[in-house]
Chains A and B, each alone.
Chain A
Amino acid sequence: MPLYHDDDQAMLAETASQFMADEGAITKQLRHYRDRDCPDGFGHALWSKFGEMGFAGMLVAEEDGGLGMGHVEAGIVLEEIGRNLTPSPFLASSVMAATALGAAGDSAKQRYLPGLISGESVFAVAVDEGAKHRPERIATQAERSGNGFKLSGKKSFVIQAVAADMIVVAARTSGADTDEDGITLFAVPKDAANMDQEPVRLVDSSIASHVTFTGVELDGDAVIGEVDGGRAVLNKMLMAGRVGAAAEGVGVARGAMDMTVDYLKQRKQFGKLIGEFQALQHRAAHLYSEVEIARAAVIKAQQLLDAGSEKADLMISVAKAKVAKTAGLAVQEGVQMHGGIGMTDEYDIGLYMKRDRALQEFMGDAYYHANRVAELSGY
């Protein structure tokens, strides 16, 4: 398969680009909800439009009522989300939770998928338990109790949990904290008793929660996949989330770079456009190169994941690490080259810097994934 978008994908990219530039624009969404101190951090009206466009259920299998598309397609939407900094539940709900629900039984699918596909429901995923992404260690416990389970523990960095109708929670049903086996995924509904949320606003204006479970009672239907055998589903969900976050990061990098290159062509100092100065030209050209490479790594990872290749895991970590470094460079160069106005809230370039920081952390930063590349390569 060639490493570029085929005709259908190119058409989807055009549609998504147009849609996000119109509906998902910074003034209409990010600034609008931020400046109103919106408790959810995104607009539900836009989320319904994601449903109308077919985006919300694009990864859901056709037999389950979705479009049965792949991660290349989801990545196309995410790149546009990144370019426009559009706040939406797409990554957590349509990419991560949808991937987990693909492994769920019929009753969970029937309960949750129609709302996702139509853009009415919002789902969150609860993996991290500390300030860093360390899914190898899961301490949140689910003890057997009657026909079901009792869930206890604490999760962090649960994006949009406050608006979520259901949270996918990775918990331990047997073994020690760092065991590979003994993990089970649960679909925990929002009205579950003994679940407490402490929502916090993050630097990029998104809302994430610390979620505490103190004996949350769940019936057997809440289990996604196999009891004690949830690591495989969790890994699938993580791969989807990582490659998705990488795709959104490429969008952030491109958005910041385009804005900066435009600025170099407008701003005059010393009687010249600052884009005429070679010191800035070379930095912009270097940034362009890095963004192109990051993008290639992401497409390669998406294709491998869609093909079910064993190499996908390694390439996803390569892509996530490369994008984190590249988007980090893009936003820092962006603010620096904008000069003083780059530090003002009025200009959008700083918003890219904030979003990038949150996205770098989400699903593992560059250091986590570079380390993972070394481990997967046997050193």
Chain B
Amino acid sequence: MSETAELASFREETRTWLEANCPTQMRQPVRDDDDVYWGGRNATFKNDAQQAWFEVCRDKGYTVPAWPKAYGGAGLNAAEAKILRQEMSRLGARPPLSSFGIWMLGPALLQFGTEGQKKRFLTEIARGEIRWCQGYSEPGSGSDLVSMQTFGEDQGDHWVVNGQKIWTSYADKCDWIFCLVRTDKQNKYQGITFMLFDMANQGVSTKPIKLISGESPFCETFFDDVSVPKSYGEDCPGHVGEINRGWDVAKYLLGHEREMISGMGGGERTAAIGPAMSRHAEKSGGPIDPILRGELALFDVDALAFTAMAEKFMDEMKAGKGHPAQPNMMKYVGTELNKRRHELMMSVGGSRSLEWDSDETSGGKPSRSWLRTKANSIEGGTSEVMLNVISKRILDLPGG
């Protein structure tokens, strides 16, 4: 299908702009976490290229291209945003800025925020000034999130928050938190408020959790008599949506998160691995076992079929077709596939892939990544919860 003249000229402009502005170093695949720029008060750049790429994108609104210009975006429509994505991926350009503000809080504010909130918080996110973390899960509330108990006591112009969150991504490095706080103990679903506050507030402390991968991307976060203002100025309340109706926002965001996770189907997570793996095997340990080759081939069948599903899913979403609970299916299959992928990569790698901190493995990358994937089917809703949702909402099976 040919593009309209308008879109074709946008593509041309975008291509020229990217060629001129994206440093060659920023056209390499992301290898480590410090290749990712997260922004925030304490952010440092790994190198000049990272800084230059971020700044030029920030000034053009390309950190959040589809957000309105008034909030730091570039105001691109869906077709233009798609073209920008395609042109960036053609070049292999890294995202200039990554953050939970862009992925999670931003969409919630665009949907539920006041004008004042959007002006302030979205702009800060777009410009990479504030790095946000998400306070959802609690030690006693994982899959059963709504049982959470962190409590905010109403003190007139502010809340006093006490409790504990867990699995808070990068809480020790973040500036602000969007946090589910119980504000009515009588009402399970309609007693939660979606609050926004500064992690520098007195009484907030974080403690990194060491994972089986040896890494600590998550924290425990403690709130000890934390004072949270009800307002940050005119038209800028300290909570998103209505008081006691934070569950609506949280549910929207969970759906959005699953969509996001499941929308990654076209990327590295699901691509066929057989070609690279068999080359790797030939180089390091001799020809690949025929049975393992067979497993790789069957994996590639599933991976390539899932890639088609991801494309279909995105097409249907854009057209408003498809079942609203479909993201749960995508999340389930995508994460299970990724775990299988890393199991196979470990098998192909053999004893080399067991090395925990050798230079040859860049510090145990194969084994650490393999272990990390085990969380894929736990975080953001477990596979079992996804299957529950599919059976109830899509297949309409009876009970509970």
The answer to whether A3 touches B312 (Cβ under 8 A) is: yes
> Do A297 and B309 have beta carbons less than 8 Å apart?
yes
Q: Is B254 part of the binding interface, using a Cβ–Cβ cutoff of 8 Å?
A: no
Interface size on B, residues (CB 8 A): 47
Question: Is B388's beta carbon under 8 Å from chain A?
Answer: yes
Q: Is the interface of B mostly helix, strand, loop or mixed?
A: helix
Residues of B within 8 A of A276 (CB): 397-400
Contact of B315 among A2, A278, A297 (CB under 8 A): A2
Among A281, A317, A377, point to the contact of B387 (Cβ < 8 A).
A281
| Interface majority SS (helix, strand, loop, mixed), chain A | helix
The segment from B206-214, B293-301, B339-347 found at the interface with A is B293-301
CB distance from B398 to the nearest CB of A (A): 5
Residues in B whose Cβ lies below 8 Å from that of A297: 304-305, 308-309
In the bound complex, CA of A289 to CA of B305 (Å): 12
How far in angstroms is the closest Cβ of chain A from B78? 13
Question: By the criterion CB–CB under 8 Å, are B391 and A293 in contact?
Answer: no
Surface stretch bound by B, among A66-74, A80-88, A195-203, A367-375 = A367-375
Contact partners of B309 in chain A: CB under 8 A = 292-293, 296-297
Residues of chain B from 278 to 301 with CB closer than 8 A to chain A in the complex: 278-279, 288, 293-294, 296-298, 300-301
Q: Which of A266-316 contact B (CB under 8 A)?
A: 272-273, 275-276, 278, 281-282, 284-286, 288-289, 292-294, 296-297, 299-301, 314-315
- Considering only residues 354-379 of chain A, those with a C-beta below 8 Å from chain B are 366-367, 369-371, 373-374, 377-379
Question: What class of interface size applies to chain A in its complex with B?
Answer: 35 or more
| A3–B315 touching, CB < 8 Å | yes
Pick from A294, A300, A379: contact of B278, CB under 8 Å: A379
A309 to chain B: closest CB distance in Å? 13
Asked if A1 is an interface residue, CB under 8 A from chain B, the answer is: yes
Per the 8 Å Cβ criterion, residues 208-224 of A in contact with B are none
Say yes or no: B275 contacts A378, CB within 8 Å.
yes
Determine whether the beta carbon of B293 is less than 8 Å from that of A296: no
Q: Which residues of B contact A379 (CB under 8 A)?
A: 274-275, 277-279, 288, 293, 296
Residues of A within 8 A of B272 (CB): 373, 377
Nearest-CB distance from A273 to chain B (Å)? 5
Residues of B within 8 A of A163 (CB): none
Q: Which of B296, B315, B329, B391 contacts A4 (CB 8 A)?
A: B315
Chain B residues engaging chain A, CB cutoff 8 angstroms: 1, 272, 274-275, 277-279, 288, 293-294, 296-298, 300-302, 304-306, 308-309, 311-313, 315-316, 318-319, 321, 326, 329, 332-333, 384, 386-388, 390-392, 394-400
* Chain A residues with a Cβ under 8 A of chain B: 1-4, 261, 264-265, 272-273, 275-276, 278, 281-282, 284-286, 288-289, 292-294, 296-297, 299-301, 314-315, 317-319, 321-322, 325, 366-367, 369-371, 373-374, 377-379
